[in-house]
Amino acid sequence: MQDNLFDALVVFHGIGDGWSARWLHPRFRHCFVAVRREGHWLRFDGQAGLPQLDIVGPATIDLARHYRLLGYAVLSVRVVRHGPWWPWLLGTCVGGAKRMLGIRAPWVLTPRQLHRHLNKGDIRCRRSSHRRSPQRSPYPRPCRPIRP
pLDDT one digit per residue (tens) for the chain, 148 residues:
455 667 899 999 887 766 666 677 778 888 999 999 888 999 998 776 678 889 999 999 999 999 999 999 999 988 876 655 556 667 788 888 888 888 878 888 888 999 999 987 544 433 333 334 444 443 334 444 454 4
Give all strands (DSSP E) within the chain, no chain letters: 5-13, 30-37, 40-45, 52-58, 73-80, 143-145
Domain count for the chain, please give it.
1
Instruction: List Cβ neighbours of 20 (8 Å cut-off, separation of 6 or more).
Output: none
Domain range for 101 is 5-145
